[in-house]
Amino acid sequence: MFKTSKIFFSLLVLVVLVWQVPACYNFFMAKSVDTPFTLYSSIAGEFATLQADEDKKMQYRDASGREYTEEQFDSILPTFYYRQLVTDGRFPDSIHGIAVTPRQVQVSNFNMRISPLDLNKPRLGIQQMLESMSGRVDLELPDDAFRITPEGMKFVKMETNAIDHEKSARFTQMMKQKGFQFPAANISGNPTDRKEYDEGYVMLDAAGKLFHVKQTVGRPYVRAIALPEGMTPKHLFITEFPSRKWLCFLTDTEGHLWVVERESYDVRCTEIPPFIPEEQSMLIIGNMFDWTVKVNRGTSECYYAISAQDYTLIDSMSYQTPSHTLPGLSFTSTKDKFVKPRIVR
Amino acid sequence: MIKAIFYKEWIKTRWYLLLALLVSLGFSAYAMLRISRVCSLKGAEHMWVVMMQRDAIFVELLQYVPLILGLVFAIVQFVPEMHHRSFKLTLHLPMRATSALASMLSFGMSMMVLVCAPALLLMWAYLQSVLAPELYWHILLSAMPWYLAGMAAYLLTAWVALEPTWGRRVLNLVLGVLLLRIYFLAPAPEAYNDFLPLLAIITLCYSILSVLSLTRFRDGRQD
């Protein structure tokens, strides 16, 4: 017994050392990797960057090294700095020969962040479905919540904690009628009343088929979305952007980003090189002409410019972001919300 | 003989155990009372929405209660005996020293379960009347590492308290504090779900650390 306890004690000391020594080193020696704020400028036809120099003075440049003044920089990124241009009376009547108004720019602009932290976390398994056609300007939270079981959709009245059998049967029946196989393999929605409109949920059923499910005037709206041949969806991200152009973004098992257009339900692949959503974060800053897509790939930060019309790749660049962390044992990670022992390199 | 040791430990700690049970139940009851007040003032719907949208679990005040109860329990059970050197008498009983120690720790762990289980049962009984299973299990599973921390605090404090020399006691204390930190790293509710079974096994294994202190005590190590 003494021998066993001595071995266990030594093991604990080792675990604590392998956990705490790298953690302390990384805490004290951590250096922030300062990459410039980068956006694609369709006016300049290349990426434009903004970074503070050693004297904290802002440097405005493009990828070719040309320098700009602050005002010139606003002008080469008119959709990003439209408010400044409107204030200065410099907002253009047209961009690339297309007449634009500040309101159009405001509505078509969007930001989308896909973070491993949002994917790798415990799921509650119960959520709310808003009424997407209430006839009121403001959205209201419903008085029930739903779960998806192998038998179907179950709505629970929150006040009484009792199943609403009639509503549950209505939704389950409609979903089965449209070919939905229970339970759902994945589900994405944004059940908040702090948005302009509601598109309910996009769901992957047990057979890997994609569906759009929402509640309109208390009734279920279920639509099967045809997927391109050979494409296997993995992660879903409902968008609900003010422009109402897309229903959702999704990634497939190979790491490609796809978009589902809202009106036509067309599923189209973007030319962003594959990424791993469970490990790499993606930020999309989009406007009516192009998207700047930033993918954090660990040791590099990659930027891609994508056409907002046909999702083709226009340009790309990257910054090296070498890591100076000491490998060791960790119980938490910046890539998930779980506590478990793992080796961090 | 084991029965006699259990009886001795019971006589030593019974008033503290009563207090610990009251504190444990009291904190749980207070947490449930707060939830009940939220339900009566703003409706059960509000509770559900806050839990679903903001990751709230409403029982954060219980976080360090089992830890403190376990730590104080080990102090109450072992420190007076070590201080008065009466632990030596236990080792002279007609049974193996490790068996005597195992009996003392088993008594302690059983009492910790008896102190913590009613609190968890109280929460489970009340929460299922107002929340869906997904939501009340969300709360109970999030609280589970705190109760394991209580068990770990008891076993690690016993290990420190039984250690005869101050130098080694400080080393054990530092190691114990770092090990207890593992139970409080949750970045979100239910963060420990996958790790809980392994963490429970590791927690039970802390009991064999006291054999090191016992051996050093028996060998006559002292400052």
pLDDT tens digits for range A18-63: 999 999 998 888 777 789 999 999 999 999 999 988 888 899 999 9
SS3 B218: helix
Question: Which residues on A lie below 8 Å from B43 (Cβ)?
Answer: 159
Query: Which of B44, B52, B191 comes nearest A126 by C-beta?
Result: B52
- Is A99's pLDDT higher than 80? yes
Q: What pLDDT is recorded for position A50?
A: 94
Please judge whether A147 and B51 are an interchain contact, meaning their C-beta atoms are less than 8 angstroms apart: no
Chain B neighbors of A2, CB-CB under 8 A: 211-212, 215
Kindly state the tokens that stand for B172. 């054990």
Instruction: Answer whether residue B110 is part of any domain.
Output: yes
**Residues A240-291: pLDDT tens digits?**
999 999 999 999 999 999 999 999 999 999 999 999 999 999 999 999 999 9
Sole residue written with tokens 């509503």: A167
Digit-coded pLDDT (tens) for B171-201: 999 999 999 999 999 889 999 999 999 999 9
Kindly state whether residue B97 falls inside one of the protein's structural domains: yes
Q: Do B208 and A339 touch (CB under 8 A)?
A: no
Nearest to A323 by CA among A284, A296, A294, A293: A296
Selection from A61, A40, A73, A36 nearest residue A292 by Cα: A40
Chain A CA closest to residue B179: A16
Question: Which chain B residues are closer than 8 Å to A329 by Cβ?
Answer: none
- Determine the pLDDT at residue B4: 85
For the ranges A192-201, B117-126, B153-162, B213-222, the lowest mean pLDDT is seen at B213-222
Question: Which structure tokens are listed for B95?
Answer: 């049974």
- The confidence score (pLDDT) of residue A258 equals 97
Domain count across chain B = 1
Cβ neighbours for B90, distance < 8 A, ≥ 6 positions apart: B5, B8, B81, B100, B104
Q: Which residue of A has its CA nearest to B141?
A: A122
> Does residue B67 sit within a domain?
yes
Residue tagged 């709206």 (tokens): A221
Looking at per-residue confidence, does A106 or B219 come out higher? A106
Per-residue pLDDT at A267: 96
Facing A158 at nearest CB: one of B48, B134, B179:
B48
pLDDT tops 90 at residue B221 = no
Share of chain A above pLDDT 90, in %: 84
pLDDT for residue A1: 79
Q: Which residue of B has its CA nearest to A147?
A: B134
Q: In the predicted model, what is the mean pLDDT of residues A207-233?
A: 95
Q: Chain A residues with CB inside 8 Å of B210's CB?
A: 5
Q: What is the mean pLDDT of residues A96-124?
A: 94
Is B223 among the domain residues?
A: no
Rounded CA gap, B74 and A320, in Å?
A: 53
Which stretches within chain B are classed as H helix? 2-42, 44-54, 65-83, 87-91, 97-130, 133-162, 166-181, 196-205, 209-218
> Which residue range(s) make up the domain with B33?
2-218
Residues 6+ apart with CB under 8 A from A27: none
| Cβ-Cβ contacts under 8 Å, A127 against chain B | 52
Judged by CB atoms closer than 8 Å, whether chains meet at A145 and B189 is answered as no
* Residue B205 near chain A (CB below 8 Å): yes
What average pLDDT does range A62-72 have in this prediction? 92
Does A90 reach chain B within 8 Å, measured CB to CB? Answer: no
Please tell me what DSSP assigns to residue B186: -
Per-residue pLDDT for A17 more than 90?
A: yes
Q: How far are the Cα atoms of B106, B168, B211 from residue B98, in angstroms, in the given order?
A: 12, 20, 7
Nearest CB among A1, A8, A331 relative to B185 is that of A331
**In this structure, is residue B87 part of a structural domain?**
yes
pLDDT-derived band at A225, boundaries 50, 70, 90: very high
Do A8 and B52 make contact, defined as CB atoms within 8 angstroms? no
Optimal mutation site among B212, B214, B221, interface A, most CBs of chain A within 10 A: B212
Partner-chain residue, chosen from B98, B134, B194, that has the shortest CB–CB distance to A124: B134
Q: Is the pLDDT of residue A115 over 90?
A: yes
**Is A12 close to B179, i.e. CB distance below 8 A?**
yes
> What would the mean pLDDT of A97-121 be, rounded to a whole number?
95
B51 in contact with chain A, both atoms CB, cutoff 8 A: yes
- pLDDT tens string B35-89: 999 999 999 999 999 999 988 999 999 999 999 999 999 999 999 888 877 887 8
B212 interaction partners in chain A (CB closer than 8 Å): 2, 5-6, 9
Residue in chain A lying closest to B194 (CA): A340
- The pLDDT tens digits of the residues spanning B122-172 come to 999 999 999 999 999 999 999 999 999 999 999 999 999 999 899 999 999
Asked if A141 and A130 touch (Cβ cutoff 8 Å), the reply is: yes
pLDDT of residue B93: 80
Average pLDDT over residues B216-220: 85
A-chain CB neighbours of B49 within 8 Å are 128, 141, 158
All residues of chain A having their beta carbon less than 8 Å from the beta carbon of residue B96 are none
Predicted confidence (pLDDT) at residue B223 exceeds the cutoff of 80:
no
What's the pLDDT score for residue A44? 92
In the predicted model, what is the mean pLDDT of chain A?
A: 93
Query: How far does chain A reach from its first CA to its final CA, in angstroms?
Result: 36
Give the tens place of pLDDT for each residue, A295-335.
Answer: 999 889 999 999 999 999 999 999 998 877 889 999 999 99
Query: pLDDT value at position B82?
Result: 85
* A87 reaches B (C-beta below 8 A): no
